[in-house]
Amino acid sequence: MTETPVDEGPGLGLDAPSQPAAVETEYRVLARKYRPQSFTQLIGQDAMVQTLGNAIKRDRLAHAFLLTGVRGVGKTSTARLIAKALNCIGPDGEGGPTISPCGECEPCVAISEGRHIDVVEMDAASHTGVDDVREIIEAVRYSAVSARFKVYIIDEVHMLSKNAFNALLKTLEEPPPHVKFLFATTEVNKVPVTVLSRCQRFDLRRIPAERLVEHFRWVVGEEGAESDEEALALIARAAEGSVRDGLSILDQAIAHGTGGITAQQVRDMLGLSDRGAVRRLFGQLLEGDAQAVLATVQEQHDLGTDPAALFRGLLETCHGIVRSKVGGAADPALSSEERAAYADWAAGLGFGALHRIWQLLLKGLHEVETAPMPIEAAEMALLRIVHAAGMPDPGELAKKLENGEIAAASAPAAPGGAPGAGPEGAMPADFPALIAFLEAQGAHMMAVRLHDQVGLVRYAPPALVIKPLQPMGEDELREIAALLKDKTGAHWTVETSDGPAEPSLLEREKAAIDAERQSVLDSPMVKAAFEAFPDAELTDYKLAQGR
């Protein structure tokens, strides 16, 4: 095929200069074809470009730069642009370092084509050893052959071995004036601090979804294709801030369809769940319709939807409802129907319910991803949400109990009797009474655990909020709730909190004993005895009756 020059447009440029019209070239994927050739084409990194521009104008260039960020945001492309900016001589051959390299002079062209002898690129993933770094150390002593600066670009620098880093330190700290080092990495935490301290660091940001949509729209136009906005928004969301990932998906989408890129096409290609089905399933979960939930899950499974993708769709729905409730900016990938549905749910659901659904969905996603039978795990996790949806909100229930709007739940079971046959048909009056009740019911171990290991945050039967003094997992909380239900006949909710709590009953008893002992030590008779016998110890005491 024959390639023609591509206009710069609002986004990324070419990976290499355009070939003459008569030259046949191989097809290049979009991620390479639309790489930036100037800083004006580098999207989403305005702060870094401004800093570099000011440094070049004021001749305050560092000898080493470290570029870090997630995949596909332009680290290696930026390193090549810096190399061009440092070595550009302008169309007339008289220019100096500039933030706007001309792209026409021999250094610019040679660097773009990857053939400049003084710009050396090294992949640290395949050149990890000290011998590879030793070659660089030996070469930096010699001046550049034809460029202003000799530039070393080391990609994925965190892959260098410890010895390789150590060998590079001295040269990196005091390189010859004609040498510049440009490092790129996705895992900056693996780069030694001794190296970080010798570099000027730039953190490249994820590209916002709105900016990616704008860029992808331009690329689609350049490619002579068509697409709808929702499809581009879905691709931008799937890219997660990475231009390269997004362009790879877009490349696949253009090849996938013949009549333009549609949202449904992108969903099918990426294995995303049908958003209409997800909304229908979310509504069924809220209604507590177990049969409808199972039917929808089976329907999506028959269509080839991954159960994990279904849960991710439900999580996105829950997140969208919460954002709608707090007035957050609308997701550009949402259709008008989705926005309307989210607004309706946001008006009818409280934050507590939404947060519980989120936690249950998150737990369900983990179970689906790790279970040997994903579809069964998905059904069980969703049925758990169905049953939770029918339970009253613990906070609202506690308020109603306190206000006397509803009677206390089922009474405690009498020893050896059925639930509801407890003393005066009421719940234990307070937390100590609850522990005494459990002891009387034969639940000695649980009574000791609640007595010794928890502080009380709120006691509003059948709701109990505690602050564990030792780590306590969800299984233990369910065990406590199940035992309380068995002994009282009521459905208890047992939760933990990190907020203020009363001391445990054991701590209160110890404090009372200490206070009593101190009162004995402070009595005039005991003080006089200690003054007469300084080496005496109080080993035991007995208070007189009435005290």
DSSP secondary structure, 89-142, as one string: --TTS-----SS--S-SHHHHHHHTT--TTEEEEETTT--SHHHHHHHHHHTTS
Distance CA 198, CA 123 (A): 20
Q: Which residue is it, tokens 């007469």?
A: 532
Backbone angles phi, psi at 147, to 5 degrees: -95, 170
Q: Which pLDDT score is estimated for 22? A: 41
CA distances from 210 to 158, 222, 235, 467 (A): 31, 19, 11, 44
Query: Model confidence over 364-393: pLDDT tens digits?
Result: 999 999 989 999 999 999 999 888 765 555
Q: What long-range pairs does 394-397 form, CB within 8 A, spacing at least 24? A: 394/463, 394/493, 394/495, 395/352, 397/460, 397/462, 397/463, 397/493
Statement: residue 277 has pLDDT above 90: no
- Tell me: pLDDT of 39 over 90: no
Question: What is the arrangement of strands in the sheet containing 463-468, beginning at the earlier edge strand?
Answer: 454-460, 463-468, 493-496
Joined together, the tokens standing for residue 385 give 């949400």
Question: Residue range 240-255: average pLDDT?
Answer: 88
For residue 95, pLDDT beyond 70: yes
> Alpha-carbon distance 263 to 348, whole Å?
29
CA distance 488 to 362: 32
Q: What is the pLDDT of residues 404-438, one digit of tens each?
A: 555 444 444 433 343 443 343 468 888 888 888 88
Mean pLDDT of 191-196: 92
- pLDDT band at residue 508 under the 50/70/90 scheme: confident
**Residue 278 and residue 489: Cα distance in Å, rounded?**
37
Report the pLDDT averaged over residues 228-252: 87
Token digits for 320?
Answer: 């969208």
Question: DSSP character for 143?
Answer: P
**Residue 472: both structure tokens together:** 């306590």
Determine what percent of the chain is predicted with pLDDT higher than 70.
84
Whether 387 contacts 407, CB under 8 Å: no
| Residue 67 bridge partners (DSSP) | 184, 202
Q: Single out the residue of 185, 178, 208, 159 nearest to residue 46, CA to CA.
A: 208
What pLDDT, on the 0 to 100 scale, is given for residue 42? 87
Alpha-carbon distance 251 to 484, whole Å?
59
Beta-carbon count within 10 A of 383 CB: 16
**How many CA atoms are closer than 13 Å to the CA of 7, on its beta-carbon side?**
9
pTM: 0.56
Q: For the residues 268-274, what does the mean pLDDT come to?
A: 69
pLDDT for res 519: 80
